[in-house]
Structure formats: structure tokens, C-alpha cells
Amino acid sequence: MAKTIPADSVGIVKPQSIHFDEPLQLRSGRVIDKYDLMVETYGTLNADKSNAILVCHALSGDHHAAGYHDPENEKEKPGWWDCAIGPGKAFDTEKFFVVSLNNLGGCAGSTGPSSINPDTGKPFGPDFPIITVRDWVKSQAHLADHLGIDKWAAVIGGSLGGMQVMRWAISYPDRLRHALVIAAAPKLSAQNIAFNEVARQSITSDPDFHDGRYYDYGTYPKRGLMLARMVGHINYLSDQAMRDKFGKDAIEGNFGRDLRTGQLNFSYEVDFQVESYLKYKGESFSSKFDANTYLLITKTLDYFDPAVDYDGDLSRAFADSQCKFLVISFSHDWRFPPERSRDIVNTLLKAKKPVSYLEIEAAQGHDAFLLPIERYIKALKAYMSVVAREIGAEADDDAAVDTAAYIGANTVMDEDYE
């Protein structure tokens, strides 16, 4: 018997692979001759193709942003941004045609390091070129061409996704109406890069890494990838989020130090819940994500800095942008804290661009951008209602918001898509 699917879900979705034969000139100077992009779409493209919105994913996300793949599996989790995409949701699939893709270099079906290199007949591995945000956006523009979309009603993304949104506004100023930049930064800080380098060292120092050619050995750097993800996770949660998550039944001042078995082991085994949680998260991630893609995308993050072409003045990069901007940050995000989003806002103000900015109170840390936090989702919905109006899609006036669907500010969900 088929499983029950919530009424506000996009339902069962089917990803499709789209092939591109046109060579892609990369920022590094290298060229990808042909490539595939794995894509999902939700909703219906209208006749004048004006209602399309592009969703850009972050480090470990992919094309599966909403809905379900398996009509039978009751345990299947929906796509990574299901709380925001669907009929009646913030990105309302009854009004918008939502496009989500796995970026080039990814490991969820698009061409990447684990794909077969036609020149060698073996996986690319370390031979896969370094891809920058600019290259991604260029490939996304080819995808837009393929779909016949001249201008996105909005381009949307959180974290690294937000960086792609900024790049869209810079590289293709006339191809988007609205840019929604969430929990992002104009570029990485030294601390951000440092975390990425720890992640990379964890992977490359794993004996099973084999200089990135682990596919040839029938293995993968499980331990290294697990460590990389563990350090990432610490960075994506806030101190407060960890306290809330791992100290639920405890007295005040417990700081989230709940023990796993109720007593200390006096050994180097796992004592605290936070330890087993990180191990579990790291292990489950390492079994489903490609290590070379992880390495690649951390580099993509490190290299992002659109100001480099403009003598360090990011406001000049935005000089030609024609879209409106919505920038959102989260109070307890210490990966890309509100100050970094304010840097973006101030840059846009300097460039005299229309910009709105919200700082959402949320204990969850960087991961908050993936979660159904009431004020956040309502703000997205409010903003998108104007976008819908602009493109002539019917906007419901009293956008009724079901508050019961939101989680409390102290809840931490086990999402894993940063």
C-alpha cells in the first residue's frame, strides 16, 4: 500500500538527468567538454515562463529539495527544504515553478569526481577540475536556457547556496528579479577556511584515500569523511543548540552534558551524548557522500570572493544588478554570523540596490536556514507573495500560516544538509 503523503507536499517526485554538450569554460582555465546535471522541478512553468525560481543548494545538499522519491517507503525523509517548498508553502508550487539541481562536481547524479572520465574510462577522482561558484552559476544559466527560462522570478539559497545567488546577481544581472541570500557571507573568513582545511586534512590523511583514487581500490575514506563531517557539524550547530539537544532532561547548568549511559566509563569510550551523536552523524554521512566532492566543495567555498575582480570593492560587483535582494541571517549562527550578512546588506546599500534584511532569532545555529522557524518561513512567504503578484500569479491576500507546523526556537532537528 502506498504511503500517506502530507497535503502540502509536492508528493512523489522524479529527478531527471539533463545532458549538456556545450563545453563549459571554467574559472581555473580548464574546460569541461560535456556534463550532466541532475534536476528536480516542482510546480508548473507558466506560459510566459515567468514563474520559475531556482533553488541553490549548500555544501551537502542536492537536487532533492522537496517531496519524496519512494511511494512505498514510510521511513523516507522528504527533500532537504521540504518545509519551504510545496503547495501553500513559502515557495508555493501552486504559483511557482521551482527548479533544484545537483551542482556540477556533486555526487548525487550530476557530473563530478566520482563520474567516469571518458578519456580514461575510470572515475575522475582528483583529476576533476576545481569548480567555483561562478562556474556553477554558469552551468545553471545553461540549465535555464535548456528550460527556456530567460529570467528567474527569484534565485534562492542558504549558506553556499546564498553565494550562488549573489553570483547570479553579479554575472547575470538581467536574468533574475529577486535574489534571496540566506545565512551567507560575502566570502569566507580565515576561521571558516581553517575549519574547511581540518575537514580536508581529515579526508586526505585517511589511508583509504589513496590520493583521491579510492574508487580504483574498491574503498573510500570513511573515517576521514566522518571526521570532516563531525567538525562541520560542530560549526553548523550553536553552543545553545547543543545544550538544548543534549541536555533535555537535565538541571539548569548542565550545558548539554547528558551522559550516554548515565555514568562515566573511565575509559576512552563514548561518555556523552554529544559524542555519540557526532559519531553517528559523521558515519551516516560518510556512507552516502563522496569524499572528493566534499574536498571540492570546501575549495569552492574557500575561493568564493566576487570582490576580487573589483579591487576588493564588492559594491562594484553589484553595480549592474537589477534584482531586489532579501538577506536573512540567524542570531546564533557562528559559521556565517549576522555581521557577515550585514556586510552583504551594507555593500548593497552602498551600491544603491533595493535590499531588505532580517535577523531571525534562532538558537539552532547555521542549520537554522533549513528549519521551519516561524518568523523565517513567514518572512519568506510574505516576500514571495509580492514576487507572485509581480509576475501575475494569484497572491492570496491573507496568507494563512499554520503556526502548528512550526517548531519552537529551541528545537533542533536532525537535518543534515548544510
Residues engaged in binding other proteins (CB under 8 A) = 324, 326, 342, 345-346, 349-350, 352, 354-359, 375, 378-379, 382-383, 385-386, 389, 399
Catalytic, out of 9, 139, 159, 329: 159
39 bridge partner residues: 16, 101
Catalytic, out of 366, 367, 385, 416: 366
Cα–Cα nearest to 255, from 242, 265, 266: 242
Contact 286, 115 (CB under 8 A): no
343 catalytic residue (yes or no): no
Instruction: State which residue, 49 or 375, has the beta carbon closest to other proteins.
Output: 375
Angstrom distance (rounded) from CA 305 to CA 315? 12
159 catalytic residue (yes or no): yes
> In this structure, what C-alpha cell is assigned to residue 299?
575549495
Instruction: State which residue, 147 or 395, has the beta carbon closest to other proteins.
Output: 395
Cα torsion through 56, 59, 62, 65, rounded to 10:
-60
φ and ψ at 160, to 5 degrees? -60, -30
Cα–Cα nearest to 336, from 366, 359, 358, 314: 366
Instruction: State which residue, 233 or 324, has the beta carbon closest to other proteins.
Output: 324
Instruction: State which residue, 57 or 324, has the beta carbon closest to other proteins.
Output: 324
Instruction: State which residue, 122 or 350, has the beta carbon closest to other proteins.
Output: 350
Cα–Cα nearest to 327, from 336, 335, 319: 336
56: helix, coil or strand? strand
Angstrom distance (rounded) from CA 204 to CA 223? 10
64 catalytic residue (yes or no): no
Catalytic, out of 82, 333, 367, 416: 333
Q: Report the largest interatomic distance among the alpha carbons of the chain, rounded to a whole angstrom.
A: 68
Q: Min. distance of Cβ 316 from other proteins in angstroms? A: 13
- Burial-class residue 311 by CB neighbours within 10 Å (0-12, 13-18, 19+): exposed
Amino acid, single-letter form, for residue 341 = S
Angstrom distance (rounded) from CA 98 to CA 9? 13
* DSSP class per residue in 307-326: GGGGTT-HHHHTTT--SEEE
Residues annotated as catalytic are 159, 333, 366
